[in-house]
A and B are shown apart, each in its own frame.
Chain A
Amino acid sequence: MDKGVKDITKESGARRDALLFAAGVICSVGVMLWAGFSGVDRAYLYAVILICFFVLAPFYISFEKGEPYAREIVLVSVMIALAVAGRAAFFWAPQFKPIIAIVIISGIALGARNGFVIGSMSAFVSNFFFGQGPWTPFQMVAWGLIGFFAGVFFSEKGRSLLPILIYGALSCFVLHGAITDIWTVLSITDKPNLGTVITVYSAGLIPDLILAIATVVFLLLLAVPILKKIKRVQEKYEI
């Protein structure tokens, strides 16, 4: 029998995952300290690029090494496809897309690690349609973390919608907006600079706002029915 999606993290993999994430955090902190104290030209830009990979690597290694349950893989794939198709289907309004809402719902329903994989892979795959760029790894981290924290903060049981809506709106600014544009901020000047930070981020404020509104609206309309549907499929097929 296929065992549950969430059992995987509980079993033998839990120790390996803990080690992996500890290594990722230590490397990230180390790189940040290096950037702060070494005085190397443009160290911060290199640091954030490296940190991107230190964040992505543990999740993907953990996902690769986890038990290969066919139903888990298929569920993850379907949610990514829904997120990407949602981004493509709502072309009548730029930025007004359900993609972040779907990522958050996936994180809640399928757990934090799968939430990260769904979020980051949605960014990666949808950029095959919208164009890859230097922002791709940062967007992968941003959307991955949106799915991850959704899985950490919210469980399926005893959920009320309001905290999820607040999280959805905030994550569009704090995670999506801030992380996706960080490469621009750090490429323009040699050291982080308040002026460029304000200029670049204020340029992204309107699109982020539209995305936040879309996320809240779609969460309001979709969170309850889709969570119920995933739950139903999980119970029906003992996933």
Chain B
Amino acid sequence: MYLRHDEFTKYHPGTNFAYFCAVIILSLVIFHPVTMGISLAGALVYAILLRGGKSLKFFFSMPFIIMILTVILNPIFVHKGITPLFYIGDSPVTKEAFIYGACATLMIGSVMMWFYCYSQVMTSDRFMAVAGRVMPKSSLVFSMVLRFIPRLKNQAVKIRNARRNAGTNGEAVSKTKEAAGQMSMLTTWALENSIETSDAMRSRGYGLPGRTHYSGYKMQARDGVFIALLIIFAVTVIAGKITGALFFAAYPQVKIGLSEGGSGAYIAAFALMCFAPAVIEIAEELRWKQLESKI
């Protein structure tokens, strides 16, 4: 598979991880229609940057359906709010419930799309590089599982072929039984083989103190700059929430923003955060063009 590596993916995995955590948590916490919209737009732009049309196919296959359901379900089941639009039976369908549903839908869509981007960027090896230091034992298990899976799959194919040649081609009814039998054989093989692995580990001194952790990734200056900016933006956005500039409530009446000063600066900080990977990509593209033109 051809994987397009954007510029942000080339940053340190720790930086990527911190970024996704910040964006997803803030998207959940800052429940404000404008920031929700920006978050979804940012996630979609980055997803397209990462996977092109495939990401849109994903978006319309699942998140979009859940989003539509949310818009429909909230006003049907929640009758709070003071502006009835129409009545279903005796219960009013209110404008406020519609607006709340619209915000919730943006939140759900943005979080799902950020998770999609996260899946593309934080591949298993990059996740290991982050988790390896914090959770050495669990990430060792994680890496061993990743190694065992292809081995088990290979062995499963061998078992299946051997069984087929021996004449046990599963009929429709006994297909499950045959599959379970093969699963059981696979277990025997896996358990016996894994003991070898653990003996090798023990003889190489696993469990002794002073184990080190190898990671091929190095923190660079740009990672420091990025994380510093990330913290500044995140603190700004949280300050906006606390001061009430990013306040939003749908019930009983739609109310946006409590403070006098307006919310432009806070929204700008959040927008910069959400579009950071795209900005980095464009900046890199421009630099490349500029260098190219010099040749």
Instruction: Write the residues of chain A forming the contact surface with B, with a CB cutoff of 8 angstroms.
Output: 2, 41-42, 45-46, 49, 60, 63-64, 66-71, 73-78, 80-82, 84-86, 88-90, 98, 117, 121, 124-125, 128, 131-134, 136, 184, 187-190, 193-196, 199, 217-218, 221-222, 225-226, 229-230, 233, 237
Contact = CB atoms under 8 A, between A and B. Distances in A.
A76 B100 contact: no
A125 B142 contact: yes
B141 A117 contact: yes
Contact of B153 (A41, A89, A189): A89
Given A89-B153, A90-B179, A190 B100 contact: yes
30 contacts: A49-B28, A60-B138, A63-B137, A64-B135, A68-B207, A70-B202, A70-B207, A73-B140, A73-B144, A73-B201, A74-B201, A80-B145, A82-B152, A85-B156, A88-B153, A89-B179, A131-B116, A131-B119, A132-B119, A133-B115, A134-B112, A187-B107, A188-B73, A190-B100, A190-B250, A193-B77, A221-B184, A222-B180, A225-B187, A233-B192
B290 interface: no
B104 interface: yes
A81 B183 contact: no
B227 interface: no
A35 to B, nearest CB: 14
A204 to B, nearest CB: 12
Interface of B: 28-29, 31, 66, 69-70, 73-74, 76-78, 100-101, 104, 107-108, 111-112, 115-116, 118-119, 123-124, 135-138, 140-142, 144-146, 148-149, 151-153, 156, 176-177, 179-181, 183-184, 186-188, 190-192, 194-195, 197-199, 201-202, 206-207, 249-251
B136 A2 contact: no
| Prevailing SS type, chain A contact patch | helix
Contacts of B186: 82, 85
B77 A189 contact: yes
B104 A187 contact: yes
Give me the 3 closest cross-chain CB pairs, A-B, nearest first. A195-B77, A81-B148, A221-B180
